[in-house]
Chains A and B, each alone.
Chain A
Amino acid sequence: MSRWRRRETAAGEPLPPTRRNTEFLLLVFAVLVPVFAYANVGLARHGSIPPDTAKYGLGLGLLVLIAHILVRFFAPYADPVLLPIAALLNGLGLVLIYRLDLETPNVQAASSQLMWSAIGVILFAAVMIAVRDHRSLGKYAYLAAAVALFLMIVPVFFPAINGAKVWIRLGSFSLQPGEFAKIILVVFFASYLAGTRETLMMIGRRFCGVNLPRGRDLGPVLAVWLTSVGILVLERDLGTSVLYFGAFVVMLYVATARIGWILVGLILIALGAFVVGSAEPHVHSRVQNWMDPFASIHAGLGPGQLAQSLFCFAAGGLLGAGLGLGHSILVGFAAKSDFILATVGEELGLTGIAALLVLYALLVARGFRAGLTAPDAFGSLLAYGLSAVLAIQVFVVAGGVTALIPLTGMTMPFLAQGGSSVVTNWALIALLMKISDRGRRPLAPIEEPVPLPEEVRA
């Protein structure tokens, strides 16, 4: 579809704006804010603007510019807010990691995070270019399921790191395949539900006033539940299993509007979590720690990580100590990854935390909006699922480090150190933008419906 054709076939009506220039303007801000933050760290710590500020700004700017140009060509009608928020979060994350690197001269993470961000943008580009129409993804539902399961199970065969078996380590290089699995799994869920939601909505048995699903429809639900609990047990990773299961429950509800099933799901996960939480020592200790984060202090062993994290948030108060001036490094080994939010809390204060949460909320809201405007059920469900994944992940991580829920080892999307996470989230944003582009495109005639695979339709 050429430029000419798009203008021509609008039936005489003015074309809706692509909003690409809005996106560009927002991107300028999204790059400037981290650059200023970077300069701020230097001023606070050494009294001078870091000499490589310009280089750093240009680097980030270049990455973002490449993404922006690709969007102009491959998703011109995409939501203009998604890319700037992702860029801003990623930029702030780099600043925070650079800032924490100052406290750990022997372990530098900012440059590798920058490299991972670049790889993330490359994946973003790949999705932009390769996925011409998101509906084509629906064809690979069961392949997706198989790949996702494989990715989830692989780490079981690798040694545990920090008590959780979620890593594949090859030399100094480590990956969290579960991060990649989350998108692929959502693709499967979306495809499965788009094909079967009619059946699921119609047929069921009433039991005690609740519509319960038929056994054969229950199969996939049970399979997902078993997988989640299996991960929980084998990999000792409460967060990921809550994430998968939560995303599935949300999508199931959206697709079928069946509260009864949600109840079944919630009861199942609660049961699973309770059993594992009380039986599995690693998970059990996390729960104990959540119930009394300061127990180790009273026992004379000094504060644990969660206590240190709470101290960070408390020290930040309303306005924060200022970038570079906090002591969040006291959290210890995961300060740059799982606990990155503690640095935000201490140095930018409640104000910074609120701003950050608003950014995530906007991201999630825009994701849902993409789903609402998507022309097909698969696209809608995919967008809802991806947005829910973002929201749940933010909740699980941020809730964990602020002792709202038990702590689980997961990363704050875009913000935290962790290559797999950054790369995956860039792909996630690319998918959401593809879906929103499809929804807002004025031409949007559904030229030929993309057939769903037979087995899914049945």
Chain B
Amino acid sequence: MIVTARRAAGFCLLLLLALLGNATWVQAHKADTYDHMSGNRRPQIIRYQQPRGDILVADAPITGSPHTADSFDLAYGRSYTDGPLYAPVTGYASQLYGTSLLEGVEDDILAGTDPRLGAWPVITAVTRRRSAAGNVATTILPAAQQAAFNGLASTGNKGAVVALDPTTGAILALVSTPSYDPGAVAGANRAARAAWAALDGDPDRPMLNRALRETYPPGSTFKVVTAAAALASGTVADPDEPTATPDPYPLPETHTLLGNEADGCRNASLRHALTVSCNTVFAKLGVDMGAEVMRRQATAFGFDDPKLRIPVAVTRSVFPKSPDRPQTALSSIGQFDTRATPLQMAMVAAGIANDGEVMRPYLVERLTRDDGSTVVGTERQTLARAVPPSVARRLQRMMQDVVTTGTGGNARIDGAVVGGKTGTAQHGEQNRAVPYAWFIAYAKPSPDAKPAVAVAVVVEDGAADRADITGGGLAAPIAKAVMTAVLSR
């Protein structure tokens, strides 16, 4: 009986070992999955157990955390000052519906659970002691944000504006309309449910951050990228030499004729083609260089980067993979499957303004503790070198021509050097939908100064009259207002 008893004891031990193994599986291996599973209310409970940290704009909080209940659960809520203005920056923190954008990405800091908030981060990580909530200081410039928001709102259309500091990558304005008040969905009451249902069901999708999460055909603004590729690859040695371009340009291998809105595009020089926005010249250049050169140039400006974080995730902008020759022609003028976020087109303008160096865009200046000390600050970082400085300077002069003599006259600012490019992107079935109006630009306070601001504006679904919806008419004035706000800081 002793042998069998020992075996039975071994069996019992095995049972307990199985438990230990399973506990290890659940608590060590599956823990992260379970912690973030929908239905697990812990993140919410932790988030609202103590006053939530603030998101700062120009060192002033644009959020608050009022006491909402006396229970351990949902004791503190979230409030927003100027909610619709800053919604594309803050996102929402809702007691019912989770978090988005900065509220989501920096939740650990704002909730006080990030071990770096403690005096001894390693020990804090082990003891899991919660610190007072930290704050998130953004790079937003209130005047620029307000100018962009007012400008877009005055058109009454959907759209987005992004403004960058070209030399650092700091995001100065980030606007998306129609906007919403995140404070309306912050609570856990019936009003919040109703507000959520209305926002969620709204066909205009107010909670969509169009500046970061929507891609548009960039239209003629993409010609800047094509011009950069032509100059950098040596396909065009001198921007003032005439190009051998017919008008209209028959798309290769097809009977389709590509025309121009502007006059004087036949054999136009690169400079003139950009100034008046000739489709034919850039379509032909794209075909001559080939899709691979175009694609490489787009990637050098930041296209096709699925991992871009500011630290909020940004949707990838694309230049189509292996298009045929007629598709390459259309892709090179920002049509067909070329798609870009407003942030991406602001990065194109910023890269050219910054002598060819594209800085990594960032929205968070630094994370701070309750007492104001810095947890971590964002360092300026080069994302990519898009074109050599000499090419960048030629492009700058061409873009400045667009504003002084071309389609971008509405962006002219007295006493400042402004370079820009208009765009009117066709889209929809057979391009019949109301086009998108684009404008990208940069501005320097003086010819020898460093660039102060780069901006991209897109306005969807403009007025019914198609001819009026050009980037120069709708979008350029908004860009001008934003740049003026930055220049006068």
A: residues with CB less than 8 A from B are 197, 250, 253-255, 257, 294, 297, 302-303, 307, 310-311, 313-319, 321-322, 325, 327, 330, 345, 349-350, 353-354, 357, 360-361, 364-365, 368, 371-372, 377, 380, 384, 387-388, 391-392, 394-395, 398-399, 402-404
On whether the beta carbons of B16 and A314 are closer than 8 Å, the reply is no
Q: Is the CB–CB distance between B9 and A302 below 8 Å?
A: no
Which of A330, A368, A391 has a CB less than 8 Å from the CB of B5?
A368
Could you tell me if A402 and B26 are in contact, using CB atoms closer than 8 angstroms? yes
6 contacts between A and B (CB under 8 A): A257-B1, A297-B39, A315-B42, A322-B128, A354-B20, A364-B9
A28 to chain B, nearest CB (A): 26
15 additional contacts, CB 8 Å, given A330-B42, A365-B13?
A254-B4, A254-B7, A257-B4, A294-B39, A313-B27, A314-B30, A316-B27, A345-B23, A353-B27, A357-B19, A365-B9, A377-B1, A394-B15, A398-B19, A403-B22
Shortest distance between the CB of B373 and any CB in chain A (Å)? 25
Task: Indicate if the CB atoms of A402 and B22 lie closer than 8 Å.
Answer: yes
CB-based nearest A residue for B18: A404
Determine the residue in chain B with the shortest Cβ distance to A371: B5
List residues of chain A with CB within 8 A of the CB of B35: 311, 314-315
Contact check, B28 vs A350: say whether CB atoms are below 8 A apart.
yes
| Contact A394–B19 (Cβ < 8 Å) | yes
Q: Is the CB of A353 within 8 A of B5?
A: no
Q: With A297-B37, A303-B40 in contact, is A395–B15 under 8 Å at CB? A: yes
Bound-state CA distance A377–B127 (Å) is: 51
Residues of chain A with a CB closer than 8 A to B5's CB: 254, 368, 371-372, 380, 384
Q: Which residues of B contact A (CB under 8 A)?
A: 1-9, 11-13, 15-16, 18-20, 22-24, 26-28, 30-35, 37-42, 45, 126-128
Known contacts A255-B1, A314-B30; A395/B8 CB under 8 A? no
| B8/A254 in contact, CB under 8 A | yes
Which residues in B have their C-beta under 8 angstroms from that of A402? 19, 22-23, 26
Q: Which one of A307, A322, A398, A399 contacts B39 once the chains associate, using CB atoms below 8 Å?
A: A307
Separation of A319 and B197 alpha carbons in the complex (Å): 40
| Docked pose: A60 CA to B173 CA in angstroms | 65
Query: Is the CB–CB distance between A391 and B16 below 8 Å?
Result: yes
Q: Residue among B1, B31, B41 with the most chain A CB within 10 A?
A: B1
**Cross-chain contact A310 with B26 (CB below 8 angstroms):** yes
Least CB distance, A325 to chain B, in whole angstroms: 8
Query: Which of B3, B8, B31, B42 sits near A388, CB closer than 8 Å?
Result: B8
Q: Write the nearest CB–CB distance from A269 to chain B, whole angstroms.
A: 15
Which residues of A lie under 8 Å from residue B1 when comparing CB positions? 197, 254-255, 257, 377, 380
> B31 near A317 (CB under 8 angstroms)?
yes
| Chain B residues, Cβ within 8 Å of A354 | 20, 23
Assess whether B24 is in contact with A350, with CB atoms less than 8 Å apart. yes
A318-B27 in contact (CB<8A)? yes
Q: How far in angstroms is the closest Cβ of chain A from B11?
A: 7
Q: In the complex, what residues of A have CB within 8 A of residue B40's CB?
A: 303, 311, 314-315
A391 to B11 Cα, complex, angstroms = 9
Chain B proximity of A409: nearest CB distance (Å): 18
Contacting pair B2 A364 (CB below 8 A): no
Point out the residues of chain B lying under 8 angstroms from A255, CB to CB.
1, 4
Please give, as numbers and ranges, the residues of chain A lying within 8 Å of B9 by CB-CB distance.
364-365, 368, 384, 387
CA A404 to CA B17, docked complex, whole Å: 12
Chain B proximity of A363: nearest CB distance (Å) = 10
Complex Cα–Cα for A316 and B31 (A): 8
Distance of A313 Cα from B35 Cα, bound (Å): 9
Please pick, from A250, A253, A254, A357, the residue contacting B20 in the complex, using a CB distance under 8 A. Answer: A357
Question: Cα distance A330–B40 when bound, in Å?
Answer: 9
Please determine whether B42 and A327 come into contact, CB atoms closer than 8 angstroms: yes
Instruction: Give the residues in chain B near A349, CB-CB below 8 Å.
Output: 27
The residue in chain B whose Cβ has the minimal distance to the Cβ of A360 is B16
> Which residues of A sit under 8 angstroms from B27, Cβ to Cβ?
313-314, 316-318, 345, 349-350, 353
**Assembled-state Cα–Cα distance A351/B437 (Å):** 61
**Complex interface: chain B residues within 8 A of A361 (CB):** 13, 16
Complexed CA–CA distance, A325 and B34 (Å): 18
Q: Is A311 a contact of B19 with CB atoms below 8 Å? A: no
Closest to A377 in B: B1
Q: Which residue of B lies closest to A364 (CB)?
A: B12
Contact of B34 among A310, A318, A368, A387 (CB under 8 A): A310
Give chain B residues whose Cβ lies under 8 Å from the Cβ of A322. Answer: 127-128
Q: Which residue of B lies closest to A315 (CB)?
A: B42
B31 lies within 8 A of A364 (CB): no
Assess A303 versus B26: contact at CB under 8 Å? Given A314-B34, A391-B12, A394-B16. Answer: no
Bound Cα distance from A321 to B35, whole angstroms:
13
With both chains docked as a complex, state the minimum distance between the C-beta of A321 and any C-beta of chain B, in angstroms: 6
How many Å lie between the Cα of A307 and that of B41 in the bound state? Answer: 11
Contact A404–B22 (Cβ < 8 Å): yes
In the assembly, what is the distance between CA of A403 and CA of B11, in Å?
Answer: 20
User: Distance (Å) between the CB of A388 and the closest chain B CB?
Assistant: 6
Contact B39 A395 (CB under 8 A): no
Considering the chains assembled together, what is the distance between the CA atoms of A402 and B6 in angstroms?
28
State the Cβ distance, A369 to closest chain B Cβ, in Å.
Answer: 9
A-B pairs, top 7 by smallest CB distance, nearest first, are A314-B34, A391-B12, A297-B39, A303-B39, A314-B31, A395-B15, A368-B9
Closest chain-B Cβ to A338's Cβ sits at a distance in Å of 15
Q: Which residues of B contact A368 (CB under 8 A)?
A: 5-6, 8-9, 12
Q: Quick check: A319 and B8 within 8 Å, CB to CB? A: no
Please give me the residue from chain A that is nearest to B22 by CB atom: A404
C-alpha gap A365/B9 in the complex (Å) = 7
B128→A321 contact, CB < 8 A: yes
CA distance A377 to B4 in the complex (A): 13
B28 to chain A, nearest CB (A): 6
Give, as a whole number of angstroms, the nearest-CB distance from A446 to chain B. Answer: 17
| Interchain CB contact under 8 A, A395 and B30 | no
Q: Across the interface, do A327 and B45 meet the contact criterion of CB distance under 8 Å?
A: yes
Q: Quick one: closest B residue to A341, CB to CB?
A: B23
Instruction: Report chain B residues within 8 Å CB of A253.
Output: 4, 7-8
Please give, as numbers and ranges, the residues of chain B lying within 8 Å of A197 by CB-CB distance.
1
Taking a contact as CB atoms under 8 Å apart, the answer to whether B3 and A399 are in contact is: no
| Contact between chains at B28 and A318 (CB < 8 Å) | yes
Chain A residues in 8 Å Cβ range of B6: 368
- Find out whether the CB atom of B26 lies under 8 angstroms from the CB atom of A387: no
Contact residues in B for A345 (Cβ distance below 8 Å): 23, 26-27
**Nearest B-chain residue to A380, judged by Cβ:** B1
A357 to B24, CA, bound (A): 12
* Nearest chain A CB to B120 CB, angstrom units: 16
Q: How far is the CA of A180 from the CA of B186 in the complex (A)?
A: 53
A357 lies within 8 A of B8 (CB): no
Q: Are A387 and B22 in contact (CB under 8 A)?
A: no
A377 to chain B: which residues have CB within 8 Å?
1
Question: In the complex, are the beta carbons of B19 and A399 less than 8 A apart?
Answer: yes
The residue in chain A whose Cβ has the minimal distance to the Cβ of B11 is A250
Q: Hey, which chain A residues are within 8 Å of B7, CB to CB?
A: 253-254
Set of chain A residues within 8 Å of B19, measured between Cβ atoms: 357, 394-395, 398-399, 402, 404
Residues of B within 8 A of A303 (CB): 39-40
B417 to chain A, nearest CB (A): 57
Query: How far apart sit A250 and B6, CA to CA, in the bound complex (Å)?
Result: 11
Q: How far is the CA of A350 from the CA of B27 in the complex (A)?
A: 6
Shortest distance between the CB of B96 and any CB in chain A (Å): 13
| Contact yes or no, A313 B8, CB < 8 A | no
Q: A353-B23, A380-B5, A402-B23 are in contact. Are A302 and B28 (CB under 8 A)?
A: no
Q: By the criterion CB–CB under 8 Å, are B28 and A399 in contact?
A: no
CA distance A254 to B1 in the complex (A): 6
Chain B min CB distance to A425 (Å): 16
Q: Which residues of A contact B13 (CB under 8 A)?
A: 361, 364-365
